Amino acid sequence: MNLFERTGKIALGSRLRLLSSRMTDDATKIYRMYELELSPNWFPVLFILSQDGAKTITEIAEEIGHSQPSVTKIVKEMTKSALIAKHPYAQDKRRNMVALTEKGMAAAQHIIDVQCKDVDAAVDALLAQANHNLWEALAEWEFLLDQKSLFHRVNEQRKLRESQKVKIVEYSPEYKEAFKNLNEEWISKYFIMEKEDYKALDHPQEYILEPGGKIKVALYDNEPVGVCALIKMKDPEYDFELAKMGVSPKAQGKSIGYLLGKSVLEEAKKLGAKKLYLESNTVLKPAISLYQKLGFQKVAHRPTPYSRSNIQMALVIED
């Protein structure tokens, strides 16, 4: 069986490279057949100059999707072959206006009138023989990858898979140590532990659960890797505070924060909460964006026992 059928889609890059090198090799032969003394890789530059007239090297590079040094090199070669001439640009001495010479124009005209037509016809005949249109498929991929890169897409898949291995469970005393450690880790990394922290982390039973709050624990391979608390508030406006969310840096990239948040939100809904509150600090950018993703929005400042808090957010729970 074909290598690519065996490896699967992961070899798509290789497969494209192989086909493209095959085409490039044939291109060399094709150019030789038409007896124009030019190298196939000059074509994009030749074409763009024949259509758009004089251009700077940087403009050409942008237009044809090459790097600037690549165009510099091609222009140098084409200048040597007298297809191109450089014209200094009075208004801006850094720029070199690059334009086709008479010979260059003639070559471009010939290649466009004759060679392109033959190649077009040959490729069209090939496309007609195939069930799946390669040309259109390439255009679609360019478009889709512009919107979201392959890296981005693979990363999403990875997260999805990893997050399926994460289990969110109810707090029980066996997680007491994890609850403290996972929070202490980030708090002492960015700030310092405060009195209020010790109260809640050392005595979750008394300070969180008994007053009517909840704690959720994220397990990965049965190890606790994330925690999040829902703390009952004595406030006419808010029912609960989302707090003490900590995720192990070792377990990042598995959407654990999101899964914990979602689970806590569900819990709040079950408990009949109407509005949730949280406090954070703007240096914790990933946390803030997670809160936004969960639906929290910034609210005006209100008194807080934590000195690290410089942003407050709220979420209205919908039915």
Partner DNA sequence: TATATTTGCATAACTAGTTATATAAATATT
Partner DNA sequence: AATATTTATATAACTAGTTATGCAAATATA
Binding site for DNA (CB under 7 A): 14, 17, 21, 24-25, 28, 39-41, 56-59, 65-70, 72-76, 86, 91-96
Binding to a second copy (CB under 8 A): which residues in 107-166?
114-126, 129-142, 144-145, 149-151, 153-158, 160-161
Q: Which amino acid is located at 290 in the chain?
A: L
Stretch that binds a second copy, among 10-18, 85-93, 99-107, 285-293 (CB under 8 A): 10-18
Smallest gap from residue 69 Cβ to a second copy (A): 15
Tally of CB atoms within 10 A around 40: 16
Q: Which does 134 bind (CB under 5 to 8 A by kind): DNA, a second copy, none?
A: a second copy
Q: Calculate helix-pair angle for 256-270, 150-163, nearest 10 degrees.
A: 50
Nearer to a second copy, 134 or 316 (CB): 134
Report strand pairing: 297-299 vs 166-170: unpaired
Q: Which does 48 bind (CB under 5 to 8 A by kind): a second copy, DNA, none?
A: a second copy
Q: Which does 95 bind (CB under 5 to 8 A by kind): a second copy, DNA, none?
A: DNA
Spatial neighbors of 255 by CB under 8 A, at least 6 apart, are 159, 160, 162, 163, 166
Query: Nearest-CA neighbor of 312 among 285, 277, 284?
Result: 277
Smallest gap from residue 146 Cβ to a second copy (A): 10
Q: Which does 151 bind (CB under 5 to 8 A by kind): DNA, a second copy, none?
A: a second copy
172 binds a second copy (CB under 8 A): no
Secondary structure element (H or E) that encloses residue 300, with its range: none
Distance CA 48, CA 222 (A): 60
| Two tokens, residue 55 | 């251009």
